[in-house]
Structure 1
Amino acid sequence: MMKKLTAAIATVSTLGFANMAHAESFDTAIGEIDASMTATLASDYIWRGQSQTNGAGAVQTSLDFAHESGIYIGAWGSNVAAEDFGGASIELDYYVGYGGAITDDITYDVSWATYTFPQGIDAVDEILASVDLYGFTLGAKYAYDPSSALYTYVGYGFELPYDIGLGLHYGNTDTKDPVGTSTANLEYNDWAITLGKTALGLDWALMYSDTDLGNDCTEIYVDRDSCDSNVTLSVAKSF
């Protein structure tokens, strides 16, 4: 299964959904392939508790292909705040990975991703791995080029009445090398609570997020408010 398929609401790094329930399946000479494209409008782009748009809105899109074997590839894009990314106003991410199931209640996912910022800061390469078991998600992301940073997280998602999903998320970032234009070696925590529901053919989400960065936020972003607590609303449509 695709990474976007197996990720719980609580563990997404951005506020948006790539809902593979709407995927189209195609029979090919090499087996069945699922394809999905998602468009998202969000009041902010939140990454590990931090705004990537200085509190402004975000337009995001994704395109994913998954083979029946569990192998998948995809791309994702969003606008970002140019002043925080070396002049880049767009982030374009590309990833490839493999996901599978051990039992009906235990699934796993491993992938490699590169995050690019055209005409801005250098691309960041990352290795990702996660396990979903009985509603919990345990995961780690290791960025190795050009910086060295480890992100570990735990999430828990479950269903409330009226088909409302509730996701809880807690993560830790341990940065050993400079991030963006920063010279700081930062370690901090982030957390989030997300409510999600499908209605009118759209995926809606409301998320509260925060970090314990405090004044260290200015080591990363021009705008100090980028690391303040956020309440973010998004709506997504999958095709």
Structure 2
Amino acid sequence: MNAWKKMLGVALVTTAAPLAASAAEISGNVTMATDYVFRGYSQTNEKGAIQGGFDVDFGNGFYVGTWASNVDFGSEVTTEMDFYGGYAFEVAEGVGLDLGFIQFIYPGDEAALNYQEYVASLSVGDFSFGLVYSPDYFGDGGGDATVINFDYSLSLAEAISMDFHIGQTNTDEDGLVDEDDSYIDYMIGVNYDVADVTLSLAYYDTDVDQVAPNADGRYVFSISKSL
């Protein structure tokens, strides 16, 4: 899930869309990163990633989108494709609610890893609280999972901002967090907008970095551009 994925993120749920617009708006994004980290785990075996996606905002709160990245799970799976949609609206001044659905697809693995997530996100100013439920986490007969996310964005200057994230994943999926069924991930990042691109440096870590592969602390540098 960066992107809401990814960041599933990165993630992938859009912010509240304008309630009044005359036509659908299409936007895109592309990112190059030194790693693809999703909920504290490297999805590229600590290697670089090229990512991108498109979003359609229908101007009435409804939106759909798609996003993709390379992955490396030590198997024939090399690509992740996400398809998502939802409805975002303002429930009070400065308070937004986003209800969405995400389909994760991993071509080349005969749908073994494919799974879905149902997402609810509440934003208040620069704070957001998200709740995620998956009935078949990471597919292949995996158990269900719930994820709680807290995020905060802080503007330091016109072109500089910081992102803070902490999340807790609870799952029955075997082997995801060794013998535990719950773990915490967190991220601190700084962003700098220059020449129509965003340069970001983020530090990711989890509380299972001693027992889970690819879940140890790391810095990730990325370059992103909106299209």
Structures share fold, TM-score greater than 0.5: yes
Matched, 1:87 2:76: yes
SS of 2:122 mapped into structure 1: strand
TM-score by length of 1: 0.80
TM-score by length of 2: 0.84
Partner residue in 2 for 1:194: 189
Q: In the TM superposition, what is the alpha-carbon distance from 1:54 to its structure 2 partner?
A: 1.0
Where does structure 1 lack aligned partners over 5 or more consecutive residues?
Answer: 21-26, 218-223
Q: Aligned equivalents of 1:45 and 1:188: distance in 2?
A: 19
Partner residue in 2 for 1:143: 134
What is the aligned-residue RMSD (CA, Å)?
2.6
> Counterparts in 2 of 1:163-174, with a 5 A limit?
163-174=159-170
Q: In the TM superposition, what is the alpha-carbon distance from 1:194 to its structure 2 partner?
A: 1.1
Partner residue in 2 for 1:57: 48
- Bigger relative CO (Cα 8 Å, ≥ 6 apart): 1
Matched, 1:134 2:125: yes
Q: In the TM superposition, what is the alpha-carbon distance from 1:48 to its structure 2 partner?
A: 0.7
Matched, 1:34 2:25: yes
Equivalent AA in structure 2 for residue 214 of structure 1: D
Contact 2:209–2:217 (Cα < 8 Å) also in 1: no
Partner residue in 2 for 1:229: 217
> Counterparts in 2 of 1:147-166, with a 5 A limit?
147-166=143-162
Q: In the TM superposition, what is the alpha-carbon distance from 1:203 to its structure 2 partner?
A: 1.5
Q: In the TM superposition, what is the alpha-carbon distance from 1:50 to its structure 2 partner?
A: 1.1
Q: Aligned equivalents of 2:148 and 2:84: distance in 1?
A: 19
Q: Aligned equivalents of 1:48 and 1:197: distance in 2?
A: 23
Greater displacement, 40-49 / 161-170 = 161-170
Where does structure 2 lack aligned partners over 5 or more consecutive residues?
Answer: 16-20
- The answer to which structure has the higher helix fraction is 1
Q: Aligned equivalents of 1:151 and 1:196: distance in 2?
A: 25
SS of 2:47 mapped into structure 1: coil
Q: Deviations over 1:143-184 (max 9, x none)?
A: 11343010101111111135311111110000023367x885
User: Kindly, what percent of the aligned residue pairs are identical?
Assistant: 26
Partner residue in 1 for 2:18: none
Contact 1:178–1:185 (Cα < 8 Å) also in 2: no
Q: Aligned equivalents of 2:32 and 2:172: distance in 1?
A: 33
Q: In the TM superposition, what is the alpha-carbon distance from 1:104 to its structure 2 partner?
A: 4.0
Q: In the TM superposition, what is the alpha-carbon distance from 1:216 to its structure 2 partner?
A: 3.4
Specify whether residues 184 and 91 from structure 1 end up closer, same or farther in structure 2 by C-alpha distance, changes over 3 A only.
farther
Contact 2:24–2:56 (Cα < 8 Å) also in 1: yes
Specify whether residues 73 and 15 from structure 1 end up closer, same or farther in structure 2 by C-alpha distance, changes over 3 A only.
closer
Q: Aligned equivalents of 1:207 and 1:104: distance in 2?
A: 31
Q: Aligned equivalents of 1:196 and 1:17: distance in 2?
A: 18
Aligned residues: 212
SS of 2:211 mapped into structure 1: helix
Q: In the TM superposition, what is the alpha-carbon distance from 1:15 to its structure 2 partner?
A: 5.3
Q: In the TM superposition, what is the alpha-carbon distance from 1:102 to its structure 2 partner?
A: 2.4
Partner residue in 2 for 1:48: 39
